[in-house]
Structure 1
Amino acid sequence: MNKAELINAIANASDSTKAQAEKMLNALGDITTQQLKAGGEVTLPALGKLTTGERAARTGRNPQTGAAIEIPAAKVAKFKALKSLKDALN
Structure 2
Amino acid sequence: MITKDEIRNMAELCKLNISEEEIERFMEDFSRILQYVDRLKVMDTDGVKPTYHIMSGTQPLRDDVVKDSMSREDVIKNAPEEQYGYFKLLKVMD
Q: Same fold (TM over 0.5)?
A: no
Structure with higher strand content: 1
Higher relative contact order (CA 8 A, sep 6+): 1
